[in-house]
Amino acid sequence: MSFKYQIRPIKSSDLPELIELCRLHAEFEKSDYKGDHKAEALAKHLFAESPSLYGLVIEGESKLLGYSTFMPQFATWDAEFYLYMDCLYIRAEARSKGIGEALIARIKMEAVSLNCKTIQWQTPAFNKRAMKFYERLGAYGKDKVRYFLDVKT
């Protein structure tokens, strides 16, 4: 079965389906996810005059097949901007069809347009399939542990 799809920027009308993709993504990564009030928060950051978050969706014939979100960040050591890819998720039925490669190619174009020299991201250590895919594209990993500190106000 072939997939017809297009990769395009996220539109406000995509938000309900994007939130469902986020839920599926969190489930895949064995994390908790609460969709409450996400549409308003995402809209605020994605559709602002100067967005703090950028995103692409993979639109299939009848539903969204996946998404990626990213933002430019500054690396002090390199003294330049890089694109931090916060999320990349493709529905199981759409994997291994070349869609991921096409999405990464589009994200590279977005990085260039945002004056970013590299793209950085992370994936769970158990996601061996994704690691093989990323390495096949020429990406490499660095061992670090990401810490989280909740800030209570």
Which pLDDT value is given to residue 148?
A: 78
Check if the beta carbon of residue 111 is closer than 8 Å to that of residue 119. Answer: yes
Check if the beta carbon of residue 104 is closer than 8 Å to that of residue 110. Answer: no
Half-sphere exposure of 53 (CA within 13 A, CB side): 16
Local confidence pLDDT in tens for the 153 residues of the chain: 566 999 999 999 999 999 999 999 999 999 999 878 999 999 999 999 999 999 999 999 999 999 999 999 999 999 999 999 999 999 999 999 999 999 999 999 999 999 999 999 998 889 898 889 899 988 988 888 777 778 887
Residue 47 has which token pair?
Answer: 């559709």
pTM listed for this prediction: 0.89
CATH architecture, range 6-136: 3-Layer(aba) Sandwich (3.40)
